[in-house]
Amino acid sequence: MIGPRATFDRELHKLQDEVLVLGSMVQKAVIRSVEALKQRDQEAAREIIQGDQEINAKRFEVEDACLFLVASQQPLAEDLRLIAAVLEITTDLERMGDHAAGIAEVSLMMGDEPLVKPLIDVPRMAQTGVEMLRGSMDAFVRRDAEMALRIANRDDEVDQLYNQVYNELLTVMFSNPRTISGATFLLWVAHNLERIADRATNICERVIFTVTGRMEEINVRQPSGESKTRALG
C-alpha cells in the first residue's frame, strides 16, 4: 500500500542524499587541501580551488530543491525543521569548501618556500575536522541528537590543537624573524581548519534542532580575552 505522502518522503530522501553528496565533496576537498600543502603540490592546490565551484553549484542545487519542497509540499513539524536545517547545513558545507580552497590558496602563495616547521598538529586538526564533518553527516542521516552533541564537543580538541600550533608558530617567529611570512601562512591554514571544525559544530546544532526542535548553540564561550578563535571570527 502506498503511504499517503510517499512522493514527499521520496523527495525528502533525495534531498538528504544530495546533502551527503555535498558533504563528501567538501570532505574530499579538505583532505586534499592539507595533502597538497604537505606534498607542496601546486597542481593539486589549483584543482581544489577550481573544484570549489562545483561545491558552490551543488549548494545552490540543494537550496533550490529546498525552496521547491517548501513551495510545493507545505512541510510541517519535523519535515519543516529538516528542510530549514538543510538550508543552514548546506551554507556551512559550502563555507567549509571555501576554507579548503583557502588552504589551497595558501599552498599556492607559499610557492616553493620550505615549511618553517614540520606539519604535525595541522594534519591532526584536519583529521579531527574531517571526522567531525563525517560524524555530523552520520548524525544527520540517523537523526541522532546525542551523537550530534558528542561530535560537536570535539570542537574543543581542534581548538586546543589550534592554540598549540599558534604558540609553536610564535616561538618559531621569535627565534627567526625570517620565518614570519612562512609561519603566518601556516597560521592561516590552521585558522581555516579551526573554522572547519566550527562549521561541523554548526551542522550538529542543526541536527539537534531537526530532532528536538530546540535551537541551541553548543560550546558557548564566555568572554575571556584569550580566545584567538573568536578574535579571528
Partner 1 sequence: MDEGKIVVRHLNFFYGAYQALFDISLALKERQITAFIGPSGCGKSTFLRVLNRMNDTIPDTHVEGEVLLDGEDIYAPGVDLIRLRQRVGMVFQRPNPFPQSVYDNVAFGPRVMGLDRRVDMDELVERSLREVALWEELKDDLRRSALTLTGGEQQRLCIARVLAVRPEVILMDEPCSALDPVATMRVEEVMRQLAKEYTILIVTHNMQQAARVSDWTGFFWLGELVEYGTTRELFTNPQRKLTEDYITGRSG
| Residues binding partner 1 (CB under 8 A) | 1-8, 67-68, 71-74
Q: Cβ 3 to partner 1, closest distance in Å?
A: 7
Q: Cβ 44 to partner 1, closest distance in Å?
A: 38
- Which is closer to partner 1, CB of 71 or CB of 231? 71
- Which is closer to partner 1, CB of 7 or CB of 50? 7
Q: Cβ 135 to partner 1, closest distance in Å?
A: 34
Contact 191, 233 (CB under 8 A): no
For residue 128, which amino acid is it?
A: T
- Which is closer to partner 1, CB of 44 or CB of 87? 87
- Which is closer to partner 1, CB of 2 or CB of 231? 2
Contacts of 37 (CB under 8 A, 6+ apart): 45, 103, 104, 106, 107, 110, 119, 122, 189
Q: Cβ 75 to partner 1, closest distance in Å?
A: 11
For every residue of 163-183, which 3-state class applies, written as one string? HHHHHHHHHHHHHCHHHHHHH
- Which is closer to partner 1, CB of 4 or CB of 233? 4
Give the separation between CA 218 and CA 211, rounded to whole angstroms: 15
Q: Cβ 68 to partner 1, closest distance in Å?
A: 5
Question: In whole angstroms, what separates CA 7 from the centre of its chain?
Answer: 31
Q: CB burial class (10 A; 0-12, 13-18, 19+) of residue 220?
A: exposed
Q: Cβ 12 to partner 1, closest distance in Å?
A: 13
C-alpha cell at 42: 601546486
- Which is closer to partner 1, CB of 68 or CB of 174? 68
Give the number of residues written for the chain.
Answer: 233
